[in-house]
Copies of this chain bind each other. A is one copy, B any other.
């Protein structure tokens, strides 16, 4: 990753202030590589962009939930009341409670929900953590299958072995390494190309668990992220789009025809992702026709609200010429 090319520049008052290096891959519906900018074959950590693949593994393990709970299982959610309540309800339906979650207790990431929680909760809570839906679904799958819930996050647990097997099938690659994700669950390393191919498979599957996960996420983009979040805004704006963020500058998305994009910013920056995604949508002719939707997407694409001076916008994010040229080719 030390040789990653520049993907995005931050411009302040007309001058380039900062640069995000990284890699981006676009695969065709048949899984062949259409664009590779940077090293897209080296294993990396997909972080929460792997959640849809893990959710397919949960269905393969016997998880038996409706579409909304499945969307929450794929979520990096804001911790808004609707997210927290659904995670608790999913746990309750399996006869479990918040203390069974292995993910750490936090205040919500969505600022208004966070402020409200600081004012009114007795303290931080696990159900508010952005991965609580995944953890609740993992626990529910164990109960359904008769596996022990204790140690459900251990990489050697039957559930995690089943998920790892599913991840390898969807990416078409062996897992290169297993680590600990931010929430304490197993984290699997594979290539950026493998991530893009797996997203392509989710949307092109005719039926079965892969398609169920893609449809659940697209049916309720708010549950997958929340108010004001990129995934929610993009899936609402672009019909049929599947989109999932990951920590440390990761993002993956697939168009309904199976064309898929995956990117990793080498430095892990959050703010650099949306401009690359929007540039990819533009290059693929997939920007929305609807003017209101187009305006939202274009705002994300230039980092609206990111570069401020005295509370006013004094700059923007923009994709580098080299990256734009690669996406256009």
Interface residues of A (CB under 8 A from B): 1-2, 4-6, 10, 12-21, 44-45, 102-104, 115, 118-119, 153, 177-185, 187, 189, 248-249, 265-269, 272, 308-312, 314, 320
Contacts and interface: CB of A to CB of B under 8 A. Distances in A.
Nearest to A176: B15
Contacts of A21: 2, 19, 21, 266-267
B310 A184 contact: yes
Contacts of A309: 179-184, 187
B310 A15 contact: no
Given A12-B187, A15-B45, A21-B21, 19 more contacts: A1-B16, A2-B5, A2-B320, A10-B248, A12-B179, A13-B177, A14-B179, A17-B248, A18-B266, A118-B118, A179-B314, A181-B309, A182-B309, A184-B309, A184-B311, A185-B310, A265-B267, A267-B269, A267-B272
Nearest to A14: B179
Contact of A269 (B15, B184, B269): B269
A2 B18 CA distance: 9
B310 A12 contact: no
13 contacts: A12-B179, A13-B177, A13-B179, A15-B45, A20-B267, A21-B266, A21-B267, A104-B308, A118-B118, A183-B309, A184-B312, A265-B267, A267-B272
Contacts of A320: 2
Nearest to A311: B104
B19 A266 contact: yes
Contacts of A4: 19
A18 B248 contact: yes
A89 to B, nearest CB: 23
Contacts of A2: 5-6, 19, 21, 320
A310 B45 contact: no
A29 B151 CA distance: 57
Given A119-B118, A320-B2, A267 B19 contact: yes
B177 A310 contact: no
B19 A177 contact: no
Contacts of A104: 308, 310-311
Given A13-B180, A118-B115, A180-B12, A103 B310 contact: yes
A32 B164 CA distance: 55
A121 B267 CA distance: 36
A134 to B, nearest CB: 13
A314 B18 contact: no
Contacts of A45: 12, 15, 17
A53 B282 CA distance: 44
Contacts of A189: 15
Contacts of A269: 267-269
Contacts of A6: 1-2
Nearest to A309: B180
A103 B185 CA distance: 42
B310 A180 contact: yes
